[in-house]
């Protein structure tokens, strides 16, 4: 059964407008690194790299894939508890030495002016630890998610709102699910796959090709549908909703040509694509978050469908919908600030292109 209007397919860039730099990078990735000649500001032309250099890059990439696989194999051999603890300890000690430490502190000072500098540094230390733990936990994702709806005993993962999750699975309607970079944010996609929810996770691959390759292998083994954030992804995302499936996406990162929302009292740009799809298909919007608990345990929480503002025609308002989702995310972050990704440049001045106007 077909849900929603077809005209979206005729104008996908209105749904997911990539930046010019992202366009170039994606074209290069598709061509296997065979970059076209590119003219820079001074008029100098950057020609295609030589065949020997491209071969060297490819060899280096495969070598790094081997290194990353070796690191993941070591983490797997250590077991989930030891590897998570070691990863968290290493990141807590090394993170403050990285340039991103300054970004994190600046974000925390603006978000929590009422807190002391010692409190903000403690939050950021916890955030570094969380990042290190996640990196080590990738080797154990399938093992970490041990939730059993029918079992009396509690494992590493508990789920609140499982009844809503099952209802979402069985209602035969499309839906949108938003989340944030909190605790181990990979777990909800595994939950969806384990319990038969037709869901596609939209993700941004890691910047490092070797890490991206291995992480994709792990995600493919443990999760359901996966769709990389790329040019043309809007068509695939639309197809998911048309067949009555669900889209899941992290919405708490900067998107240069996004809509403006208020986040911790400051304007921030966010990708409007989930709200645009919710408007086009008039489908429910839920939020899901992960909370890290002591002893390498986690709690997943699924919210009820959000009540979203609508325009005079009764259609979901895109900017208002993204603001409602962002408000939920802010509440999550305020509750467990040490589990969020403060090192990301979430608040940035508007680009030369300006923010997209939500329609």
234 token code pair: 């809007």
165-174 residue pLDDT tens? 888 888 889 9
59-112 residue pLDDT tens? 665 566 666 666 767 777 788 999 999 999 999 999 999 999 999 999 999 999
Q: Supply angle C-alpha 320, 311, 349, rounded to 5.
A: 30
Do 204 and 179 meet the contact criterion of CB atoms below 8 Å apart? no
Q: pTM for this one?
A: 0.78
Pick the more confident residue, 310 or 36: 310
Enumerate the domain spans of the chain. Answer: 7-26+147-339
- Neighbouring residues of 157: CB distance < 8 A, sequence distance ≥ 6: 144, 145, 146, 147, 187, 191, 297, 298, 299, 300
256-302 residue pLDDT tens? 889 999 999 999 999 999 999 999 999 999 999 999 999 999 999 99
**Beta pairing, strands 297-302 & 157-160:** parallel
């Amino acid at each position: 059964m077909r849900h929603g209007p077809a005209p979206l397919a005729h104008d996908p860039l209105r749904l997911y407008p990539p930046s010019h730099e992202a366009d170039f990078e994606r074209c290069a990735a598709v061509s296997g690194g065979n970059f076209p000649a590119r003219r820079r500001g001074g008029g100098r032309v950057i020609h295609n790299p030589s065949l020997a250099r491209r071969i060297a890059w490819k060899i280096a990439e495969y070598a790094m894939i081997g290194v990353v696989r070796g690191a993941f194999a070591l983490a797997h051999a250590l077991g989930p508890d030891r590897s998570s603890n070691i990863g968290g300890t290493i990141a807590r000690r090394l993170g403050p030495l990285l340039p991103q430490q300054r970004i994190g502190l600046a974000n925390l000072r603006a978000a929590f002016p009422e807190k002391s500098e010692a409190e903000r540094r403690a939050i950021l230390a916890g955030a570094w630890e969380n990042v290190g733990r996640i990196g080590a936990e990738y080797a154990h994702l399938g093992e970490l998610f041990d939730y059993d709806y029918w079992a009396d005993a509690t494992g590493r993962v508990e789920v609140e709102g499982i009844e809503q999750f099952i209802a979402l699975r069985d209602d035969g309607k499309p839906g949108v699910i938003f989340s944030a970079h909190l605790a181990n944010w990979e777990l909800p996609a595994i939950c969806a796959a384990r319990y038969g929810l037709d869901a596609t996770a939209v993700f941004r691959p890691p910047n490092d090709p070797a890490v991206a390759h291995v992480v994709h292998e792990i995600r493919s083994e443990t999760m359901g549908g996966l769709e990389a954030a790329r040019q043309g992804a809007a068509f695939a995302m639309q197809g998911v909703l048309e067949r009555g499936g669900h889209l899941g996406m992290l919405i708490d990162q900067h998107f240069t040509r996004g809509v403006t929302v208020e986040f911790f009292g400051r304007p921030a740009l966010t990708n409007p694509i989930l709200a645009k799809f919710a408007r086009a298909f008039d489908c429910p919007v839920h939020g899901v978050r992960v909370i890290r608990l002591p002893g390498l345990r986690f709690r997943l929480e699924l919210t009820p469908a959000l009540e979203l503002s609508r325009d005079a025609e009764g259609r979901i308002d895109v900017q208002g919908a993204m603001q409602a989702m962002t408000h939920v995310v802010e509440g999550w972050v305020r509750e467990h600030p040490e589990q969020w990704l403060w090192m990301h440049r979430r608040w940035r001045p508007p680009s030369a292109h300006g923010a997209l106007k939500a329609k």
